[in-house]
């Protein structure tokens, strides 16, 4: 047991219901429970860093300080290679307020069409940061590569999932059974590194 696993109730420093659900399902096999930022009344810090890892650390540290719990934060997004990595760390912001990812997906398509891009390759990136209220912080980053297909397909998942088809597959993340997505997603890859470090290290 280490300082992170000695607490069985973690905080998830996110207000995104989809992310909270996925993270809860990932940590449940390790005997851990978690509450999201909304339930714990955690503030949503401004994401001022210019990398996924930087923003994940910022959110995890703020969550641990505010809750007194081990806090797990995720910063993730879609990088489209023909758009020089956009929307990247601004993936959620492309959806506006209130979040409308169908509008964001329309914008991705419009920007690809505007430059007559035939390259529809993309990747999802996920940075996970785990912060202890005592100050320790660990970070992990994972990715999954694939291609974009329009129009959006499927009602599972969240965010840009309905337009992303992972390499070697024909279904979008939005069409896949959640367990199939969890097995290969960018978040799953980052979480595998966390497990190896925190639970198996």
Active site residue ranges: 75
Angle at 58 (CA atoms; ends 55, 62), nearest 5 degrees? 145
User: Quick count: other Cβ atoms within 10 Å of Cβ 75?
Assistant: 28
Q: Give CA–CA dist 178/18, Å, rounded.
A: 11
With CA atoms as reference, report the closest residue to 183 among 198, 197, 168.
168
Query: Contact at 8 Å (CB) between 157 and 181?
Result: yes
**Neighbour-count burial for 17-55, b at 16+ CB within 10 Å, e otherwise:** eebbebbbebbeeeebebbbbeebebeeeebeeeebbbb
Tell me the angle at which helices 186-198 and 17-27 cross, rounded to the nearest 10 degrees: 40
Name the DSSP letter for residue 127.
Answer: E
Taking only Cα atoms into account, the Rg of the chain, rounded to an integer number of angstroms, comes to: 17
């Amino acid at each position: 047991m280490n300082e992170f696993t000695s607490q069985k109730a973690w905080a998830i420093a996110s207000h995104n219901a989809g992310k909270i659900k996925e993270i809860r399902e990932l940590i449940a096999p390790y005997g851990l429970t978690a509450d999201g930022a909304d339930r714990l009344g955690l503030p949503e810090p401004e994401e001022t860093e210019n990398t996924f890892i930087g923003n994940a650390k910022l959110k995890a540290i703020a969550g641990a300080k505010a809750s007194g719990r081990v806090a797990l934060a995720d910063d993730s997004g879609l990088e489209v290679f023909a758009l020089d990595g956009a929307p990247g760390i601004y993936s959620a912001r492309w959806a506006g307020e209130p979040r409308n990812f169908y509008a964001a997906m329309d914008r991705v398509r419009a920007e690809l069409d505007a430059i007559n891009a035939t390259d529809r390759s993309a990747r999802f990136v996920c940075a996970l940061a785990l912060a202890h209220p005592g100050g320790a912080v660990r970070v992990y980053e994972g990715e999954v590569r694939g291609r974009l297909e329009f129009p959006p397909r499927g009602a599972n998942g969240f965010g840009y999932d309905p337009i992303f088809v992972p390499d070697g597959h024909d279904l979008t993340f939005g069409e896949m059974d959640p367990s199939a997505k969890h097995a290969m997603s960018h978040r799953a890859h980052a979480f595998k590194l966390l497990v190896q470090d925190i639970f198996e290290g």
